[in-house]
Amino acid sequence: MIAQAVRESGSVTVQELAELTGASEMTIRRDLDALAAQGVLERVRGGARTLLLRGEEPPFALRAREAVEAKRRIAAEVSSLIADGETVLLDSGTTCLEVARLLHQRPVTVMPLSLQAIHMLGDSPGPATLMVPGGRPRAAEGALTGPLTLASLSALRFDTGVVGCCGLSAAEGLTAYDLDDAAVKKASITSSRRIIVAADGSKLGRTAFAYVGPTTLLHTLVTDTTAPADEVAALEGAGTVVKIV
Amino acid sequence: MIAQAVRESGSVTVQELAELTGASEMTIRRDLDALAAQGVLERVRGGARTLLLRGEEPPFALRAREAVEAKRRIAAEVSSLIADGETVLLDSGTTCLEVARLLHQRPVTVMPLSLQAIHMLGDSPGPATLMVPGGRPRAAEGALTGPLTLASLSALRFDTGVVGCCGLSAAEGLTAYDLDDAAVKKASITSSRRIIVAADGSKLGRTAFAYVGPTTLLHTLVTDTTAPADEVAALEGAGTVVKIV
DNA sequence: CATAACGAACATGCTCTATGTTTGAAATCT
DNA sequence: AGATTTCAAACATAGAGCATGTTCGTTATG
């Protein structure tokens, strides 16, 4: 409730939240501190403020709470496109984290590009084989980037690359918010025989700062029903198979 | 208590453990299942059996419970030898995991060679900067090995390398149980300007299967008071600084 | 300087987990 | 095959731990 209130109003006071939730102000303060520590919002005296400014990328902890159902469905579809025994390269991002959860139960070899996914696949033994790429983790997201990551990618070839994105349009191609991220995605595409893009509908038709490549490099797009029809049509026209779940 | 009983007797029945601990047999069974899942012991009908056979390396989950106090002290000493701002290469193993815990609070750059240490340094943001090496994690230990690991190491140079070992003697040098591990340790030593060996006293004078290198490559050894005096003297004679904590 | 916000400390109620018991099923031994 | 032991599921219960709320002293802010 707090996260939603902050997202909608942009800024709320402790009193407002106490009234809204029926909890005491002390509890609200404690919850705000916890949410601030998770990077969901920013604490200010008397209340809290959203971290969402201008065209910036929303923080990871915030995105992880949005559209969870859609992400799950997309992840399930992506997983079903992957055959047993494949070697899979798995991008960073919340949707790909869901894919990691599913692939953990499958006899495949996975190299994830985020710390979170490494944890998921490495903590408990499962049928999946884990490969770790090198790199420098970027902030809360845990996305691995940098020369070590690029070197790890260039040394290997994968059957399938599952990539997320911040923006995807037929006209402007695949884009990311971060330059380093974009470089990793570029290398991922180069090192994978087949590319599956996992992106919920909100990413379609959007363009972010860093250019990764044209949509002609992408073999399959898995998205949800909120995807704009014109973009879907344009992508299919450009030769990408689109699966809507 | 259960882990200790199994370690000492090699094999115990559910009844014996129930008597020993005062708990019911059902509780013992549940605990045995949990310990077996953690890899501490092996479940057999009617009781449990140790996993420790012949000259094999004890399983990670078992080693993690032994000599925790000594490991902590050794880790504290190792940490004190490292200056703020250094780049540190951190080997796999339980002692080095303790070092990771301490370095997390320090403004240093750390590249750990085990999944466990990556988790420790990557989960919560701290003053330490994390670098992740590539590699394939080996079983429960989470030690990263293989060509990707070696490539990551050869691409970098560290101020200090903290290495663990399975055996260390002035006569036979530094040894490990696993060939791949030994290769990583060799590369670690090559890529680090200064080498600190963290090894409790039980490792001294022991020799394991895979040879890593002579003790002349090692600058400092941190061990505990259980280290045999003759080995310590021999190592100091060979030019290694020995710190006993 | 006054007021609001905060944080620490303590009390309380709740939830969740660990434990124990029972019972029927499964495995082992004779 | 029959007898006996071991096991696992189901349920009841006690305890620990956590979230919450209150109070009060401290700290920021206008």
pLDDT in tens, B45-103: 989 988 876 445 566 666 666 678 889 999 999 999 999 999 999 999 999 999 999 99
Residues of A in Cβ contact (< 8 Å) with B141 = none
**Does residue A48 reach within 7 angstroms of strand C, measured from its CB?**
no
Is pLDDT at A58 greater than 70 in this prediction? no
Q: What is the pLDDT of residue A54?
A: 46
Q: Check pLDDT > 80 for residue A100.
A: yes
Cα separation of A219 and A187, whole Å?
A: 16
In A40-140, beta strands by DSSP E:
42-44, 47-49, 87-90, 109-112, 129-130, 136-138
**What's the start-to-end Cα distance of chain B, in Å?**
27
Asked if the model's pLDDT at residue A64 lies above 70, the reply is: no
Helix axes B14-21, B2-9, angle to 10 degrees: 130
Strand D proximal residues, B:26-45, Cβ < 7 Å: 26, 29, 33, 43-45
What is the number of other CB atoms lying within 10 angstroms of the CB of residue B239? 11
Give the number of C-alpha atoms closer than 13 A to the C-alpha of residue A102, restricted to the C-beta side. 21
Partner-chain contact B132 A136, CB within 8 Å: yes
Q: What is the pLDDT of residue A53?
A: 63
Two structure tokens written together for A126: 């499962």
Give chain B's radius of gyration (CA, Å): 19
- Is-contact B168 B215, C-beta < 8 A? yes
- B-facing residues of A in 124-153 (CB < 8 A) are 125, 129-137, 139-140, 142, 144, 147-148, 151-152
Query: CA-CA distance, A184 to A212, in Å (whole number)?
Result: 9
Determine how many CB atoms are found less than 10 A away from the CB of residue B126: 15
Nearest nucleotide (C1') to alpha carbon of A32: C6
For A18, other C-beta atoms within 10 Å of its C-beta total 16
Which residues 6+ apart lie within 8 Å of A181 measured at CB?
A92, A138, A143, A145, A210
Which nucleotide is closest to A15, CA to C1'?
C5
- In this structure, are strands B220-223 and B192-198 parallel, antiparallel, or unpaired? parallel
Q: Which helix (H) or strand (E) holds B244?
A: strand B241-244
Of B130, B142, B148, the CB nearest to A152: B148
- Helix (H/G/I), strand (E/B), else coil: A61: helix
- B144 CB neighbours in chain A (<8 A) are 132
Which of the nucleotides lies closest to A29 (Cα–C1')? C6
User: Which nucleotide is closest, CA of B28 to its C1'?
Assistant: C19
B243 three-class SS? strand
Choose the closest CB to B148 out of A115, A136, A155: A155
Tokens matching residue A59? 């923080």
| Confidence at residue A66, expressed as pLDDT on a 0 to 100 scale | 66
Q: Cα dist. A162→A90, A120, A126, A234 in Å?
A: 5, 16, 20, 21
Q: How long is the CA A46 to C1' C6 vector, in angstroms?
A: 9
**What is the reported pTM?**
0.82
pLDDT given at position A55:
45
| pLDDT reading at A3 higher than 50 | yes
d(CA B193, CA B217): 10
Does the pLDDT at position A52 exceed 90? Answer: no
φ and ψ of A106, to 5 deg: -115, 150
Chain B residues whose beta carbon lies within 8 Å of the beta carbon of residue A155 = 147-148, 151
**Which residues of chain B fall below pLDDT 50?**
54-55
CA distances from A219 to A43, A149, A162, A195 (A): 43, 23, 11, 5
Instruction: State the best of A116, A118, A148, A157 to mutate against chain B, taking most chain B CBs within 10 Å.
Output: A148
Q: State the pLDDT at residue B9.
A: 86
What gap in Å lies between CA A40 and CA B245, rounded to an integer? 44
The pLDDT of residue B56:
53
Burial state string for A179-192 with b = 16 or more CB within 10 A and e = fewer than 16: ebbbbbbbbbbebb
Find the mean pLDDT for residues A157-182: 94
CB distance A92 to A113 below 8 Å: yes
Per the listing, tokens 């070899």 go with A109
For chain A, give the percent of residues with pLDDT over 70. 94
Scanning the structure block, which residue is given the tokens 């879907």? Answer: A232
- B54 torsion bin: left (phi>0), alpha (psi -120 to 50), beta (else): left
Closest CA to B178 of B134, B221, B211: B211
CA of A20 to C1' of D17 (A): 28
**Cα separation, A162 vs A194, whole angstroms:** 9
A contacts of B129 (beta carbons < 8 Å): 136
Q: Is A155's CB within 8 Å of B151's CB? A: yes
The separation, in Å, between residue B29 CA and nucleotide D5 C1' comes to: 14
